[in-house]
Amino acid sequence: MKLRKLYEGVLKEGNAQACIAEFGKVLFGDQLGDQLGREEANTDSEDDHVTALNTFTDYGFGKNIKPEVMDAIYGLQSCMSTYPEILKPKTEMVYRGTSAPIISFIKNGQIPTLNTTQPYLYKANTPIQSWSEYESVAESFGDAENFNKFTNTYLSSPVVQGLIDAGEINLTELVEELGDIRIPIILIYKATSEDFLFKGKYINKLSEHGSEHEVIRVDDKPVMTKAYLNDKWVSHNSRTLIDKLNELL
């Protein structure tokens, strides 16, 4: 047991030395030195990583992420214990604006609204995703165009309106019409140092968009989150339809 602990200590120390050799004693000194109260010029590797992070926070995320950007982020993750002040995230709730098929909530018995959350199993489409420490930032990412179009067409039918007034909407038929329509949602999840990277205030200094308090999730395994409706993008008619569906469920 003692030998194992000694071996783990040697590995940890060796990893720290490798990180310092690549990044120096002050990570991203050119960008973050003032905030850390320490000065040190960036190494060439740091400059490359700043470029990679800038690309990721601008246009090189999701399906557009490049292998070199992924490698840069994985490399920083391996150095988290060496630069914990910068790279270790706050263990608090983080948020992500996305969309989900409305049918997935209908099957579970309730659609989230602005004021009610529902459990949602988030399955990432990419191995690295952008989240935020701020709910207001996540709310700026949303799209309900197709859902709003469907709702406007559906509710404009006199026949449908008559069925609604009579309380005779056929839920099965409505679900079939909805098909793969998606609704905008906000995911809520607690960040951990196992799968998240950066404190938002530091990545702001390295980002193309320096006010999003972004944190990076470096994992694509499914996780259970809480989700609520991103009401900012949903029309009045769409909110009415969701309320009606929830009454029928």
Residue partners of 132: CB distance under 8 A and separation at least 6: 94, 95, 96, 138, 200, 212, 213, 214, 215
- For residue 14, the model assigns a pLDDT of 56
Phi, psi of 186 (to 5 degrees): -110, 125
Q: What is the residue-wise DSSP string for 45-92?
A: HHHHHHHHHHHHHHT--GGG--HHHHHHHHHHHHTTTTSHHHHSPPSS
Angle CA 56–114–221, to nearest 5? 40
Q: What is the widest separation between alpha-carbon atoms in the chain?
A: 78
- Cα–Cα dist 19/27, whole Å: 9
pLDDT digits (tens, 9 = 90+) for 55-97: 988 876 777 788 889 999 999 999 999 999 999 999 899 999 9
pLDDT score, position 73: 92
The pLDDT value recorded for residue 12 is 52
Using only the alpha carbons of the chain, give its radius of gyration. 23
pLDDT tens, 93-122?
Answer: 999 999 999 999 999 999 999 999 999 999
Please tell me the predicted confidence (pLDDT) of residue 10.
39
- Residue 104 has, within 13 A of its CA and on its CB side, a CA count of 17
Q: Name the region of 145 (left: φ>0; alpha: ψ -120 to 50; beta: rest).
A: alpha
Other C-beta atoms closer than 10 Å to the C-beta of 44 total 8
- Secondary structure (3-state) at 93: strand
Question: Which residue stretches of the chain have pLDDT < 70?
Answer: 1-14, 60
